[in-house]
Structure formats: structure tokens, C-alpha cells
Amino acid sequence: MTAEPMPLGSSGAGAVDAEPLDPLATEPPAARRERSVPRAGWMVVARKEFADHLLSARFVVLLIVLGLAAAIPLYFAADTIRSAASTVSGATAVFIALFWLPPHVTDTVQLPSVAGFLGIVAPLLGLSFAFDAVNGERAQGTLPRLLSQPIHRDDVINGKFAAGLAVIAIVLVAVIGFIAAFGIIRLGIVPAPSELLRIVLWVIVTFVYVSLWLAFGMLLSVLVRRAATSALIGFGIWLLLSIFGELITTLVGGFIAPLSGTLEQQYSNNSVQETIRRIRPDILYSEASRALLSPQTTDVSTPATVGAAQQASERIPSLLSLDQSFILVWPQVVALVAITVACFAIAYVRFMRQEVRA
Amino acid sequence: MTSGPRLARKRKIAPRRGDASAAPGGRNVGPDDTDELVRISTRRLTKRYGDLTAVDALDLDVRAGEIFGLLGQNGAGKTTTILMLLGLTEPSSGTARVVGLDPARRPLEVKRRVGYMPDSVGFYSDLSGRENLRYTARLNRIERDDAEAAIDEVLEQVGLTSRADDSTDTYSRGMLQRLGIADALVKDPDVLILDEPTTAIDPLGVTEILELLRDLVKKRQMAILLSSHLLNQVQVVCDRIGIFAAGKLIGQGSMTELADRFGDGTAHIEVGFEFDDDASAKRAPELLRAIPDVADVRPGARLLDPWIVAVRPPSAEGRVRQAILALAAAEGLHLVSLRPIVPSLEEIYRHAVARTLPAHAGAVQ
């Protein structure tokens, strides 16, 4: 329908004619104005970004990469468990061992566990969907146009973040659901309800961890002008953490609190080093996922005193209940959430203060 | 009343209450509240970035049904002004009213009714032209059916219908600018703000676009604010023109008003003679100078070029032309051309800038 432009409402007779037909006409002007400018602009932005993500090549590539990262250790872990399960009877929490057991490929070669592998690759997921969120719009010249639409400025960054979260959730659920199904078939064991619950909790914590990288990517996209640069910085930091992270924290820890002196000192310095390691979000995540996935884990920290170490060695090996496991990693989870919120908050504030023009 | 439902639908696209229908509520009082047709109005609007004053005490009025051209060099403060009008950046001082609202306080309502096409407009390259417009329509909360109809209409208006479903990746700069205009029109705005809208469109296309703008102003009573450095286009299409230099509006008005104000107080006439002999060639300038109100007679650059007769005051120009005609007949001179030289906007602009800001005069060339 190509309607000819209508004469302007302020004086045009057409507007007066149309008035009784307009359902909004009976409402007071204030209510009409309210309706004409709804507040859910972020949902419109999120919907568009979400659709873009799902259709993007990144999405497919990440699904494959993550799927492989999970499937390869899973395959070998299943073999390891099967060979172990045939000799052991009455073992509990076998299914969930699929996720945390570092599998043997051969007698000497050991792979990281499924959880470990995912923990390394997952940041990619967060970074990929965020590193060009804002500076990409700038580069394309779409930002001024977007901001001149009747939405709030924060709708843009909120909508993008929400879309990123949704895509991450989809990828994680898809990949982990897939490997769980694969595990059920391979092992022929159906997970117990408590195991299922552990897996769900672990997925949630993984989601929080990936969100952290999403928020970090978002921050980079606000601070760095060029998308290529922010991608390079983001992936660089990810690589640095996952390859040299251990080396760096050990060096720094060794400098501040060397493991020397009396046994008592060594124990206390070790706990200082552990704290330093926990500045790294990947350590926080791996501790959280270890405790959540394997009920055998009764402690995520090494003992800080000689006495505590003795106590720990005398403890009867036991399985923790789910709530106990969760209490164990509560601080880690809170720290992950806090870092995520902090990253997003900085990105948010900086974005709100930036000039529209590049 | 076959057109009734259609109009009602149209109203849903843009709940267009003129300022009149919105008035019963406690409408905030703007500087020009008395004049309902003023769509854009600023009073001493100022924006400073640190020491730099990008926009300096700007007074501007744009009424419904007119195209206002904003002229100025890069960095003169045109874009900053536009951003303030859209509430995308806050003024340091002064006030702005767009469709009767303060854009700094009620940006959403302003942006709902103002279509804006930024300088070097961009689109999502992985989406088609139509999809890009669809997103804009959704951001404006236009219902789906209405949006599709509006999108078809604006694509037709800017002449992009045949390429609408191609990815904008494949568009030329000119096509992107057309799409930018369509994008600004999707929400069926009351005010259209176009920042350098035609720089990359080919000459024939520009004529079409300018005609479209004129049409919108006439039929829809839109107010259009157009910033450009293409002076001849501005001259053709704008009802009134504002000249911007170093953050200041150094003059505004119609072409004639600007010419009066910034001309050097002389009108020029081009006079061409064909001479039989050298004697008459020498005599002609003397005769021309003798005509009342002629201030100066200059020969053309080359021998056979027409002469330039300067007339002061400019209002005497018509009379002088008649006198020249009579003179040629009486003296037996072969007059081959006689026409007034219309001052171009470029000239006015150069004079205006040179007069107000001597330091900038060199840069205007």
C-alpha cells in the first residue's frame, strides 16, 4: 500500500476525520504518549542481535569447536570409566565422572577432563559474541542512526549483553546436553537425580564464567576503537591466562611468599600463593567446577597449617552432598559474578558517557 | 469515506498529534510556544568541549513547511548542533525545543518524531536494505503490517525498490545515502534532519531526492533541516539558509535577504558588444559610465569577453539595463548580450564568512 502522505495533524482535516476511528483517541494525551514510546527498547535490540548471532558464522564455528572440545575427552573418559567400572562394584556417582575424570588415551598420555577442556575453550564463546559489540557499530556508522531512534542509550548495551547471554546459554546447553546424551549411550548408565542436579549447577556456573568473558569483551568493545584491536586484546589475554597464567602466578607468588623456611611457614606461604592464584577467573572457575562435579572433592584449598594438613590426611574419604559441595565453592561463584558485574558496569558507564561521534 | 481506515492506520504508524492536540496536558513552555508551526527552535544554544566552543549562542527557528539549509565548513558546529537537537549530546547552556519538547529532557518523544540521517550514514552490511529499515521500524515500535507498508512506500520514494532485498554490502555510497533518507522517513516524522544527505548521489539522483524533499515539505508540512556544503543544492532546495562559521550562525534568511545583507552593495550586469572599429570600442565604456547609478565598468578578461557593469545601489539594476538597451540603440552599438549576474550562494557565503571572520577567509576557497 502506497498511501499518499497525509496532511499534518496539527492543521490537516484528515487527522480530524481519522480521530474517531483511532482506538487511542479516547485516551488522555499522556497515556497515548506513553504508548507511543514504550520502554522495552532493549528487547528490540536484543532480538536483532540474537538473530544476528544465530545466523553468524561465529555461532556455527563455536558450536563445532566447543562440541569437539567436549566430545574428544568424553570419548576417552567413557573408555576409562568403562574399564574401571567392570572391576569395581558399588561405585557411586559414576556418570558424573565423565565430566571431571581426566581420561587416559594410552597408559602414559592423559587428556584434560571434559570440564577442564570446556573451561579452556569457553572464554572464546564469551569473547566472540562481544568484542565488536559497540566498536563494530561505530565502524559501520550505524551507531548514530541507532541512537537517534526512540530508545534509551543503555538499551543498546543492555540489549547486546542480553542477546549475548542468550546465545551463550543456548550453546552451553546444546553442547553439554549433547555430550551427556552421548555419555548415556556410551556408558549405558543413567545419571542419578543428584548427579543431574550437579550437572545443571555446573552448567549455571559455566554460564556465569562465560558471561564474565562476555562482559569483558563488551568492555573492550567500548574502550577500544577498532574491533580488530579489541579482538586481539581479548584473545591475547585469554591465551595468556590459559597458557602462561600458571607460570605468572607462580612467579609472582614465589616472589611474594616463597615456599621456604620452616614447614609451618611453607604451609602459610602456600596459602598466600593460592590466594594470588585466585585472582585469575579461570582458577576460580576450575575450582568451582571441580567441587560441583566431583562429590569426592572435600576441599578446594590446600591446608594452611601443618595441623590442618594432618587432619586432612586422616579424613575418611567420603562423598559430599550437593549442598555441601555448593557451600564449598560459594565464594568462587560470588567472585565470578562480581567480576562479571564489575566489567559490565564499567562498560556501561563508559558507553553512557561516550560521545556519539567517533 | 473509503480513506478513513487507511488514515487511521497511518495514524498508528505515527501518532501524529500536532502541537495543538498535545496542548491540553501540562505542556512545558518553550521559547516559541506562541507559534505552533515552529518545529525547531533554539535560544542561545551553546556547546563547549573544554576550551573549544563548538556551538556559540545559537538562535535558530525552523517552521513546518520549510527547508532550512545549514551551511558551514567542516568543524563549524553543524553536527554538534544536530546532536543537541536530538538529545544525543547535552548543551552546555541555552535551550532547544524540537516539536515543542526539550530534547535533553524528553529525548524519546523527540526522537520518535524526528527522522535523522547522520553524516556518512551506515547500515548493517549483513542485512538487506529492507531488513535494515525493518529494524528501524521495530525500534520505533511500528506494528508489523504498518511497518511493511511504510517500508515499501519509502523505498519507492527514494528509488530503491528494485535493490531493497540485496545486502547493503553491495550498495554504492549513493545508494546508502538514499537508504539513509528512507530510514529517516520510515517513522513518518514531523521533522527531518539530514546531515550531508546528497554528497555521494549522482546529479540526476540528487534532483530526484531534492524533489522528494520539496514534496514532503509541501504535502506533509514537514520541517526539514538540511546541512550541506554543496552550495548549489542548498540554493536550489532551501527556503531559508543559515550560515555557520566557527560555532556561530553569522546570518540566516532567504537567498535575497542574505544577498542584501552580505552582498557588497553592488549588482552586476554582463554586457557584450561587438565593435565595428576601435573608436567605438573606446567610446563604449565612457557611455556606460555616464549612465546614472553605474559605479564601475570593467572590461572582460579577454578582448571579446563581455563587460561587467557594477550598479550601486543594487535596486537600480533593472533601470540601468533598460538604459543600456536604449543607449545601444541610440549610439548604434551592436549589443550581443545583456544579463544580470545573479549572485550565487557561494559568493554570498564567501563574503559572509570573510566579513565576519577575516581569519577564516582564506580557508573558504
SS (H, E, C) A169-226: HHHHHHHHHHHHHHHHHHHCCCCCHHHHHHHHHHHHHHHHHHHHHHHHHHHHHHHCCC
Residues 210 to 249 of A: which have CB under 8 A from any B CB? Answer: none
pLDDT of residue A86: 62
Q: What is the mean pLDDT of residues A299-322?
A: 75
Express as a percent the part of chain B with pLDDT over 90: 40
- More confident call, A33 vs B318: B318
Between B36, B109, B153, which is nearest A10 by CB?
A: B36
Task: Give Cβ neighbours of residue A208 (< 8 Å, ≥ 6 apart).
Answer: A333, A336, A337, A340
Nearest CA in chain B to A32: B15
Is the confidence at residue A209, as pLDDT, over 80?
yes
A185 assigned to some structural domain: yes
Range with the largest mean pLDDT of A7-21, A341-355, B201-215, B294-308: A341-355
pLDDT of residue A92: 63
pLDDT of residue B359: 55
Instruction: State which of B191, B226, B256 marks the end of a domain.
Output: B256
Residues B126 and B245 in one domain: yes
| A173–chain B nearest CA distance, Å | 27
CATH of the domain at B328: 3.30.70.100
**A11 part of contact set with chain B, CB < 8 Å:** yes
| B333–chain A nearest CA distance, Å | 57
Residues B246 and B298 in one domain: no
Residues B28 and B79 in one domain: yes
| B359–chain A nearest CA distance, Å | 27
Residues B216 and B330 in one domain: no
pLDDT of residue A89: 53
A267 assigned to some structural domain: yes
Nearest CA in chain A to B22: A29
Q: Which of B38, B132, B136, B139 to mutate to test the interface with A (most CBs of A within 10 A)?
A: B139
Which chain B residues contact residue A3 at CB under 8 A? 6, 10, 149, 153
B166-211 pLDDT per residue, tens? 999 999 988 999 999 999 999 999 999 999 888 888 888 888 889 9
Domain of residue A268 covers: 39-295+319-353
pLDDT of residue B2: 40
A30-57 pLDDT per residue, tens? 444 444 434 588 999 999 999 999 999 9
pLDDT of residue A160: 96
pLDDT of residue B362: 45
B104-163 pLDDT per residue, tens? 999 999 999 999 999 889 999 999 999 999 999 999 999 888 999 999 999 999 999 999
pLDDT of residue A10: 39
Residues B113 and B18 in one domain: yes
Closest CA to B248 of B51, B59, B84: B59
Residues B50 and B142 in one domain: yes
Cβ of A149 within 8 Å of Cβ of B136? The answer is yes
pLDDT of residue A90: 53
Residues B204 and B241 in one domain: yes
Between B8, B123, B222, which is nearest A22 by CB?
A: B8
Range with the largest mean pLDDT of A2-11, A97-106, A150-159, B72-81: A150-159
SS3 B271: strand
pTM over 0.95: no
B346 assigned to some structural domain: no
B330-348 pLDDT per residue, tens? 888 888 888 888 777 888 8
Range with the largest mean pLDDT of A183-197, A316-330, A337-351, B288-302: A337-351
Residues 15 to 34 of A: which have CB under 8 A from any B CB? Answer: 15, 17-18, 21-22, 24, 28-30, 32-33
B357 assigned to some structural domain: no
| B242–chain A nearest CA distance, Å | 23
Task: Examine the predicted complex and report whether its ipTM is higher than 0.90.
Answer: no
Query: From edge to edge, which strands make up the β-sheet containing B240-245?
Result: B114-117, B191-195, B223-228, B66-72, B240-245, B248-253
Q: How many CB pairs under 8 A join A and B?
A: 162
B139 assigned to some structural domain: yes
Count: domains in chain A:
1
Which chain A residues contact residue B19 at CB under 8 A? 10
A220-277 pLDDT per residue, tens? 999 999 999 999 999 999 999 888 888 888 888 888 878 777 888 888 888 888 888 8
pLDDT of residue A132: 93
B362 assigned to some structural domain: no
Is the confidence at residue A217, as pLDDT, over 60?
yes
Residues B26 and B141 in one domain: yes
Is the confidence at residue A69, as pLDDT, over 60?
yes
Is A124:A62 a contact under the CB 8 Å cutoff? yes
A195 assigned to some structural domain: yes
Express as a percent the part of chain A with pLDDT over 90: 40
Cβ of A150 within 8 Å of Cβ of B86? The answer is no
A163-199 pLDDT per residue, tens? 999 999 999 999 989 888 888 888 787 888 888 899 9
User: Cα–Cα distance between A36 and B21 in angstroms, integer?
Assistant: 15
Task: Give Cβ neighbours of residue B364 (< 8 Å, ≥ 6 apart).
Answer: B73, B349, B350, B353, B354
B359 assigned to some structural domain: no
Q: What is the mean pLDDT of residues B319-325?
A: 89
B7-31 pLDDT per residue, tens? 333 433 343 434 343 334 334 444 4
The burial of A2, by beta-carbon neighbours within 10 Å (0-12 exposed, 13-18 middle, 19 or more buried), is given as exposed
**B124 part of contact set with chain A, CB < 8 Å:** yes
A206 assigned to some structural domain: yes
Cβ of A12 within 8 Å of Cβ of B221? The answer is yes
Between A4, A9, A45, which is nearest B18 by CB?
A: A9
Which chain B residues contact residue A22 at CB under 8 A? 8, 11-12
CATH of the domain at B35: 3.40.50.300
pLDDT of residue A4: 42
B135 assigned to some structural domain: yes
CA dihedral B311, B314, B315, B321 (to 10 degrees): 40
Mean pLDDT of chain B: 83
**A5 part of contact set with chain B, CB < 8 Å:** yes
Query: From edge to edge, which strands make up the β-sheet containing B294-298?
Result: B294-298, B307-311, B267-274, B334-341
A93-102, B75-84, B112-121, B196-205, range with the lowest pLDDT: A93-102
Residues B148 and B119 in one domain: yes
User: Cα–Cα distance between B237 and B208 in angstroms, integer?
Assistant: 11
Which amino acid type is present at position A270?
N
Residues 185 to 204 of B: which have CB under 8 A from any A CB? Answer: 190
pLDDT of residue A202: 92
Cβ of A22 within 8 Å of Cβ of B183? The answer is no
pLDDT of residue B184: 95
Cβ of A45 within 8 Å of Cβ of B83? The answer is no
Count: domains in chain B:
2
Instruction: State which of B202, B224, B256 marks the end of a domain.
Output: B256
A307 assigned to some structural domain: no
User: DSSP string spanning A309-356?
Assistant: HHHHHHSPP-PPPHHHHHHHHHHHHHHHHHHHHHHHHHHHHHHHHS-S
pLDDT of residue A325: 83
A22 assigned to some structural domain: no
Domain of residue B237 covers: 4-256
CA dihedral B23, B29, B30, B31 (to 10 degrees): 120
Is the confidence at residue A340, as pLDDT, over 70?
yes
Which chain B residues contact residue A45 at CB under 8 A? 139
User: Cα–Cα distance between A66 and A59 in angstroms, integer?
Assistant: 10
pLDDT of residue B258: 84
B150 assigned to some structural domain: yes
User: Cα–Cα distance between B85 and B99 in angstroms, integer?
Assistant: 10
Q: What is the mean pLDDT of residues B238-254?
A: 88
Is the confidence at residue A71, as pLDDT, over 50?
yes
A10 assigned to some structural domain: no
pLDDT of residue B106: 92
- Give the pLDDT band (50/70/90) at residue A117: confident
Report the first-to-last Cα separation within chain A, whole angstroms. Answer: 39
